[in-house]
């Protein structure tokens, strides 16, 4: 990927017409294509997959219980595997650890078998060694909660660095991030802030990463660490100790940037511009050589963008169904288990009888609500496609006379008294909604526990529903029109969403189902599979020894 780009007749399109951003982006695709062709002739890492389907099934079950985006599953798996290997096994054989990591990723089908060059094992080996030196420093300096927080912080960064090694396609995503960042800087002026130029750019970069790639904190931390410390990615393990103190200074700086009060507002501003780049990326992903010819002709580009938009719009229904089904399975399984473990025993031993009505409502209402909300999501219209086309053209083609657009993220100032009135009214609505629903539940025969479970899952369902809506309408740049009814619905559901957000954060930290699977099932399961695979290799070797080779 770091080889100089050879500008052949295909690469060089009309440079007088195209912007520097799109030329560099297309060159990134060409670099990755060359790298992939080079890897095809290398000796690749291959494992036996006799019991691989069991590991794959385990991952599918675990991912259903651990509600995360599909694009985050592999990085999370890398982090989980490394955590088990490093802290549970305390292995000193880093080479073996690197091989086992790739084996488990292949078994779980996060990677295709025989798709990773054996040379990648050595690269992963060097990266893990670097972080092991860092973890040793963390172990000596921190304990308790501080040790756990710092270890997990750098473990997330480590998993991101390893994912970048095994997936060349990430280089394209990063190139798109940087070129979109360049496009933003050339077309927008951020006014009304007291940040330095570097901090302003950092906030914009984080927002682009979150919007365009839906990157989690671990990925953004990895990118910012390399931005603040460019030598880190290729650093040798014996050089780590000299940078320990600086690394923790950078860590604090990164967390400050991630938690900036400007970030939520910058994210929402950037988010409205980025659907166009998802469409452009799909166009180039299909065939980057053909895309070079298309972008050199504005009319062809417009037609291609319209076709992609219509195809993406038609898939919204299936994306909604998939998101709704995943959410319903997660909620239904969690709720059913809670009913068996807590609600039913409480009804039997405390109330001395089962209330089948409350049990049925608690089991059925949340999945039904999720389904209904999913059906209300609408497809974008023609106006949306026109706006996407305009943004893509502004990115693809040069415009030396472009007039920069000023924007401010400052909140509209509201008088002190009026702001307090609004806050008091919002709190009043919050309690009014919950108390009104609570009275209805009491009339239906709900007790304190069953009512708590109802509010618990209703809040989570509404949060998941809005997340599904966001994912399904990620190409919507025109925005949704809000009438009186939708405004009232938002007002009624907002308290539930706020509670759901708090509950979701807590569940991520204390997801007992995941803890049980990780500590009671995953390690023994992977060890059994690994032993069986080694036995299979042993049997093959013995078989080859006794096969008579004809003269």
For the stretch 39-88, pLDDT in tens is: 877 778 888 777 777 888 878 777 766 656 778 889 999 999 998 888 76
Q: Is residue 193 part of a domain?
A: no
Question: What does the pLDDT look like over 92-145, one tens digit per residue?
Answer: 689 889 999 999 999 889 999 888 999 999 999 999 999 999 999 998 899 888
Q: Is residue 488 part of a domain?
A: yes
Q: Please identify which residue in the block is written with the tokens 């670097």.
A: 130
Token representation of residue 134: 């860092």
Label the pairing between strands 405-408 and 188-191: parallel
Residues 451 and 530 placed together within one structural domain of the fold? no
Q: Is residue 234 part of a domain?
A: no
Residues 345 and 446 placed together within one structural domain of the fold? yes
Token representation of residue 12: 């060089």
The whole-angstrom separation of Cα 110 and Cα 76 is 11
Give exposure, 281-310, as e/b (b: 16+ Cβ within 10 Å): bbbbeeebeebbebbeeeeebbebbbebbe
- Helix, strand, coil shares of the chain, percent, nearest 5, are 75, 5, 25
Q: Is residue 482 part of a domain?
A: yes
The whole-angstrom separation of Cα 527 and Cα 81 is 12
Residues 484 and 521 placed together within one structural domain of the fold? no
Residues 423 and 531 placed together within one structural domain of the fold? no
- pLDDT at residue 336, rounded to an integer: 66
- Which residues, in sequence order, are CB contacts of 181 under 8 Å at separation 6+? 201, 204, 205, 208
Residues 532 and 449 placed together within one structural domain of the fold? no
Residues 495 and 532 placed together within one structural domain of the fold? no
Q: Is residue 277 part of a domain?
A: no
Helices (H) and strands (E) in the chain, counts: 23, 4
Q: Is residue 259 part of a domain?
A: no
Q: Are 111 and 105 in contact (CB under 8 A)?
A: yes
Residues 475 and 364 placed together within one structural domain of the fold? yes
Q: Is residue 31 part of a domain?
A: no
The SS3 assignment for 412 reads coil
pTM: 0.77
The whole-angstrom separation of Cα 449 and Cα 417 is 39
Residues 457 and 526 placed together within one structural domain of the fold? no
First to last CA, the chain: 48
Residues 424 and 464 placed together within one structural domain of the fold? yes
Token representation of residue 467: 């997340």
Which domain, by its residues, includes 455? Answer: 321-381+414-509
Residues 145 and 106 placed together within one structural domain of the fold? yes
The whole-angstrom separation of Cα 13 and Cα 8 is 10
Q: Is residue 499 part of a domain?
A: yes
Write the DSSP symbol of residue 105: H
Residues 489 and 522 placed together within one structural domain of the fold? no
Q: What is the torsional sign of CA 26, 212, 324, 218?
A: positive
Q: Give the angle 233-239-243 at the CA atoms, nearest 5°.
A: 80
Token representation of residue 356: 């089948």
How many folded domains does the chain comprise?
2
Q: How many residues does the chain have?
A: 551
Residue 302: name the closest of 278, 274, 283 by CA: 283
Instruction: Walk along the chain (551 residues) and give the pLDDT tens digit of each residue.
Output: 344 333 443 344 455 689 999 999 999 999 999 988 888 777 788 887 777 778 888 787 777 666 567 788 899 999 999 988 887 655 568 988 999 999 999 988 999 988 899 999 999 999 999 999 999 999 889 988 899 899 999 999 999 999 999 998 899 999 999 999 999 999 999 988 888 999 999 999 999 999 898 899 999 999 999 999 999 988 999 999 999 989 999 999 999 999 999 999 999 889 888 889 999 999 999 999 999 999 999 999 999 999 999 888 888 777 777 777 776 777 667 666 666 677 778 777 777 777 888 878 877 787 777 777 777 777 788 888 999 999 999 999 998 777 888 988 877 666 668 778 877 888 888 888 888 988 998 888 888 888 888 888 788 777 877 777 776 667 787 666 666 776 677 777 777 777 877 776 665 555 555 666 666 677 777 777 777 776 776 676 666 666 655 55
Residues 113 and 67 placed together within one structural domain of the fold? yes
Please state, in angstroms and as integers, the Cα–Cα distance from residue 477 to each residue in 159, 178, 181, 279, following that order.
Answer: 33, 21, 18, 12
């Amino acid at each position: 990927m770091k080889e100089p780009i050879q500008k052949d007749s295909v690469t060089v399109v009309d440079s007088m017409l195209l912007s520097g951003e799109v030329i560099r982006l297309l060159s990134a695709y060409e670099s990755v294509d060359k790298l992939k062709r080079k890897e095809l002739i290398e000796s690749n890492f291959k494992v036996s997959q006799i019991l691989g389907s069991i590991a794959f099934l385990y991952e599918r079950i675990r991912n259903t219980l651990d509600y995360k985006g599909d694009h985050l599953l592999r990085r999370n798996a890398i982090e989980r595997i490394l955590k088990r290997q490093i802290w549970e096994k305390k292995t000193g054989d880093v080479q073996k650890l690197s091989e086992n990591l790739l084996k488990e990723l292949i078994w779980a089908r996060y990677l295709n078998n025989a798709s990773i060059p054996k040379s990648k094992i050595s690269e992963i080996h060097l990266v893990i060694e670097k972080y092991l030196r860092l973890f040793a420093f963390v172990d000596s300096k921190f304990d308790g909660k501080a040790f756990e927080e710092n270890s997990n912080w750098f473990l997330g960064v480590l998993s991101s660095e390893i994912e970048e090694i095994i997936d060349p396609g990430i280089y394209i995503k990063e190139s798109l991030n940087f070129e979109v960042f360049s496009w933003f800087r050339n077309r927008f002026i951020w006014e009304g802030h007291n940040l330095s130029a570097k901090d302003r750019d950092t906030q914009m970069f984080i927002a682009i990463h979150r919007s365009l790639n839906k990157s989690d904190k671990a990925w953004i931390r990895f990118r910012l660490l390399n931005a603040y410390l460019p030598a880190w990615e290729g650093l040798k393990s014996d050089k780590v100790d000299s940078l320990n103190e600086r690394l923790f200074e950078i860590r604090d700086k990164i967390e400050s940037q991630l938690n900036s009060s400007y970030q939520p507002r910058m994210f929402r501003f950037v988010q409205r511009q980025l659907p166009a780049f998802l469409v452009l990326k799909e166009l180039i992903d299909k065939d980057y050589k053909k895309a070079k010819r298309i972008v050199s002709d504005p009319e062809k580009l417009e037609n291609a963008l319209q076709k992609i938009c219509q195809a993406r719009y038609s898939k919204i229904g299936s994306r909604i169904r998939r998101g709704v089904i995943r959410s319903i399975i997660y909620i239904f399984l969690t709720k059913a288990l809670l009913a068996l473990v807590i609600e039913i025993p409480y009804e039997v031993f405390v109330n001395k009888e089962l209330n089948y009505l409350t049990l049925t409502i608690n089991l059925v209402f949340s999945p039904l609500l999720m389904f209904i909300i999913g059906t209300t999501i609408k497809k974008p219209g023609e106006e949306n496609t026109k706006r996407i086309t305009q943004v893509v053209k502004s990115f693809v083609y040069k415009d030396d006379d472009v007039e920069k657009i000023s924007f401010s993220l400052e909140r509209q100032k509201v008088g002190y008294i009026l702001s307090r009135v609004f806050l008091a009214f919002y709190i009043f609505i919050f309690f009014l909604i919950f108390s009104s629903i609570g009275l209805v539940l009491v009339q239906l025969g709900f007790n304190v526990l069953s009512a708590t479970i109802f509010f618990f899952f209703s809040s989570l369902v509404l949060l998941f529903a809005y997340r599904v809506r966001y994912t399904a309408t990620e190409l919507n740049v025109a925005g949704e029109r809000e009438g009186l009814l939708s405004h009232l619905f938002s007002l009624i559901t907002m308290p539930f969403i706020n509670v759901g957000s708090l509950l979701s954060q807590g569940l991520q930290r204390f997801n007992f189902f995941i803890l049980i699977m990780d500590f009671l099932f995953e390690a023994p399961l992977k060890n059994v599979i690994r032993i069986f695979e080694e036995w299979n290799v042993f049997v093959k070797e013995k078989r080859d020894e006794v096969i008579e080779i004809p003269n």
